A and B are shown apart, each in its own frame.
Chain A
Amino acid sequence: MLKKRIIPCLDIKDGRTVKGINFVDIKDAGDPIELAKKYVEQGADELVFLDITATVEKRKTLLKLVSQIAKEINIPFTVGGGINSVQDVANLIQAGADKVSLNSSIVKTPSLITEIANEFGSQCIVAAIDTNFIGNEWKVFTHGGRTETSLKTIEWAKKLENLGAGEILLTSITSDGTKAGFSLQITNEVAKNINIPVIASGGAGEMKHFNTVFEKTEATGALAASIFHFGEITIPDLKNYLIEQQIPIRK
């Protein structure tokens, strides 16, 4: 049986992890590789590295980091943040990223998805949607949730599938940071309306939130950052709990 995926997300700036992590046995909480290895050891099913570096020059640091991650990590990983062209994708894939995540750039240039799919295949494209409930409907936001667009979330997800995305990473801005649980309704609406996998993101605060998102929606993965980073929930505890709740999970 296909397992539901638990996916920690690491924010990277200038080649270092941004949010501190309090694992006792990690010497350098800023070292993305050490943290990534720790997550793999704990049973993470995939990893996402989100680069929040602003400058073009520093992107070279990211490529170097990606190639180190690829050498050290034996599970699939996605790299996102600031990807604007087929060449950006080529560089990351060549460095060893399994998948790339795109957000603002595909809102600006939707055809980019198709170009990437033709070159590298749909399986490497995680189309990220940041969504917020505004004026009685779910709309798409870009630039880290700061910029509202005219796009409606479900329509946009359908379009991304048609353009050639392999997966959707759906982050609810409404829930993000609240620790009150994933936004179930929009997650399920999106997942029901498309045939590619949906990863739910934003709002995880307790173990039961993961149970709920897998029980009440068709999401096949769930992503979280701070609750794992700060050790509020450990991956082994979460996985054991979900197995007890009869959710299909990799041991």
Chain B
Amino acid sequence: MIAIIKYNAGNIQSVQNALNRLGVESVITDDKTTILNADKVIFPGVGEASSAMNYLKQRELDKVIRSIKQPFLGICLGLQLMCKYSEEGNTDCLGIFDTKVKLFPPKLKVPHIGWNNFKTSEGNLFKGIESSEDFYFVHSYYAELCEETIAVTDYINPISAALQKNNFYATQFHPEKSASVGEKLLKTFIEL
């Protein structure tokens, strides 16, 4: 069973729809015990960092997330909340990844909306995926490169398209909206 963390962010149902298409059972929940006992945990989201962080803290989900030992996948805002700090709402985040989240400078169109590929990618999450393949991005803030960056995409600056630290994985793009290549990545995560 895969637990999808329920919080005040959009796009959560999309993740469950994607898992259903893969024939994988999941539950959308904010229950600590269910999350801690799941085989895998997905932390999705489209939304605003400070209000999302407040919501998580009120329910002590911040502590739950940090204590998770199973494979864990943050998506989009999920990735940003796993970093140590976000400029969006001047927010102290979960601190799993040692990097900051910054607003794109207005050199190209912002938000970064659409399909983009990688300069580099490494690690098992991208197994069988070429750097020329595109994923769907939609975001105005990005995580700066750091030790834990496992995929780099160029948009205005080089940005962390994906991060990994131990069992914690995260993607800035939306695998659940990235056609067959996104399904491939989700399947790899499910089979970790």
Contacts and interface: CB of A to CB of B under 8 A. Distances in A.
Do A and B come together as binding partners? yes
B48 A121 contact: yes
B136 interface: yes
A9 B55 CA distance: 37
B90 interface: no
B23 interface: no
Given A121-B46, A124-B46, A75 B17 contact: no
A197 interface: yes
Interface of A: 1-5, 40, 45, 70-72, 74-76, 93-94, 96, 98, 120-124, 166-167, 195-198, 218, 220-221, 250-251
Contacts of B113: 123, 166-167, 197, 220
Interface string B2-45: 00000000110110011011000000000000000000000000
Most buried by A among B46, B113, B134, B179: B113
B114 A70 contact: no
Contacts of A96: 13-14, 17
Interface residues on B, range: 35 or more
A40 B179 CA distance: 8
B45 to A, nearest CB: 10
Interface stretch (B93-101, B104-112, B164-172): B104-112
Contacts of A94: 13
B115 A250 contact: yes
B120 to A, nearest CB: 14
Contacts of A5: 114-115
B14 to A, nearest CB: 7
A98 B114 contact: no
Nearest to A198: B109
Most buried by B among A45, A196, A197, A250: A250
A123 B139 contact: yes
A196 B13 contact: no
A1 B154 contact: yes
B111 A71 contact: no
A239 B46 CA distance: 29
A70 B13 CA distance: 9
A94 B17 CA distance: 13
B10 A74 contact: no
B91 interface: no
B102 interface: no
